[in-house]
Amino acid sequence: MLLAEVVTTSAAVAATRSRKEKAAAIAALLRAAHAAGVVEQAASWLSGEARQGRIGTGWRTLQAAATDPADAPSLTVAEVDATFTELAATAGAGSARRRKELLGGLFGAATEAEQAFLARLVGGELRHGALEGVMLDAIAVAAEVPLATVRRSFMLSGRLPDTAATALTGGAEALDAVALTVGVPVRPMLASPGDSLDAALGSLGADVTVEFKLDGARIQVHRDGDEVRVWTRSLREITAAVPELAEQVRALPCRTAVLDGETLAVDDDGRPRAFQDTMSRFGSGGGEDTALLSPFFFDLLHLDGTDLLDAPLEQRLDALAGLLAAPAQAHLRMPGVRRPDPDAAAQVLDDALTAGHEGVVVKALSASYAAGRRGKAWQKVKPVHTLDLVVLGAEWGYGRRTGSLSNIHLGARDPDGGDPIMVGKTFKGMTDELLAWQTETFPGYAREEDGHAVLLRPELVVEIALDGAQRSVRYPGGVALRFARVLRYRPDKSAADADTIDAVRALLA
């Protein structure tokens, strides 16, 4: 299969806003790619990333590889994938020169359209409207299997290319055979924002649990005998950085388990430390911060050979309570109350806020674990509106902030897969330390500079507090943030995890 076929499909997907047409175009390419033996590569590229993940090639390297385009397409998908594999493995002395040679050869054999596609793919800027949901639709169409079957297999494997290959090779039977495997992380179930505690209780009824919502980081912990492994919400493994979490799970009275929860650093009084203190431990070496992390588990997906994904939450909570029944392990459970009356639920929220946490999560006790989905069965309630938005750019400050990248441009995710949609700017809530960090960090994400501002690749996610939204003719989404202020950056989230323009519009009075 030629690279040109993938490029043509990418252009067709970008040219339509119809989800059905996007899925149909991708499905046709996946069928052809399967016949050519390159379905994993094609599925990965159309999802916006190389199969090898980050291949260590920045924009300066790409610019250095710029060359005149070829007159006619000749590159195959297999050739490009092989080059990506070699790029990912190139390290050490002479690696910069070898990268330049590899990219130069690749771009020299590519047409103008192929060069543009490759540059955006390698640079992490390939956004043509094929988000996760569209890709899953396309896989279902291509393999002629139920969408629900595709979704479940993807939830358990965590990788779209694997799901596409499984669907097109073995159909529904092969997809159904994909099961939870201890040691393979599951995409986490997510909570939707709730308007208020009363609204969440009203929509979910009396059979709920109301639990603390911590100002921490999501973790998923797998134990198989003495081996314990820990992943973040984005399924990045951090086991080496958090030995104290592994040690506590290794002490539990079980042989195999898959636990879902949050972790955070706490001070001597048990109050949460700054979110950045928690995230500083998630680096490759665990960071220099000596703050110990405390786990708080709120779900159990597997225990000693029994999968619990499809069991109702109440059954999973019973199993979790049994696992953590010993007094020495009771502190590992997320605080919460089952079937509270409105006054008791309000008390849980008040207790969470008093303890320095964000709010509560209201969960339906009858719900199974819908991995990877943000449904209404879990609803998070915070006293202040917050949104996770993409940083699109920043303006150079003036006065006290002269020399600092200050006023940031904020974008909401386009649910149809287009570029993030700008919804406002803010410089409120920024400390001197944060300004210094932005000024040092943003140039590494720059895609353009026009003198007074630096426009960024949409990769950084920031959590914004706001008082609401208002209609606006200034911004393309027709809505703008009211009194937005920076709470923190979210290195645990990618642009694909940002809130959508629909979430912003829902805040309109």
The residues assigned a catalytic role are 213
CA geometry: angle 160, 88, 218, nearest 5 deg: 50
Cα gap 326→271, rounded to integer Å: 23
Read off the tokens for 501: 């323009």
Cα gap 443→125, rounded to integer Å: 16
Cα gap 262→252, rounded to integer Å: 17
Pairing of strands 190-193, 374-381: parallel
Cα gap 423→205, rounded to integer Å: 34
User: Could you give phi then psi for residue 128, rounded to 5 degrees?
Assistant: -120, 10
Q: Nearest-CA neighbor of 213 among 192, 234, 243, 240? A: 192
Is 427 within 8 Å of 399 (Cβ atoms)? no
Q: How many CA atoms lie within 13 A of 43 on its CB side?
A: 30
Residue 17: CB partners within 8 Å, gap ≥ 6? 129, 416, 418
Cα gap 404→452, rounded to integer Å: 11
One-letter-per-residue 3-state SS of 4-36: HHHHHHHHHHHCCCCHHHHHHHHHHHHHHHHHH
Cα gap 218→371, rounded to integer Å: 14
State the alpha helices, DSSP H only, in 184-336. 197-204, 243-250, 275-279, 313-323
Cα gap 227→118, rounded to integer Å: 40
Q: Nearest-CA neighbor of 189 among 380, 373, 317? A: 373
Is 114 within 8 Å of 3 (Cβ atoms)? yes
Is 492 within 8 Å of 463 (Cβ atoms)? no
Tokens 């920024």 sit at which residue? 430
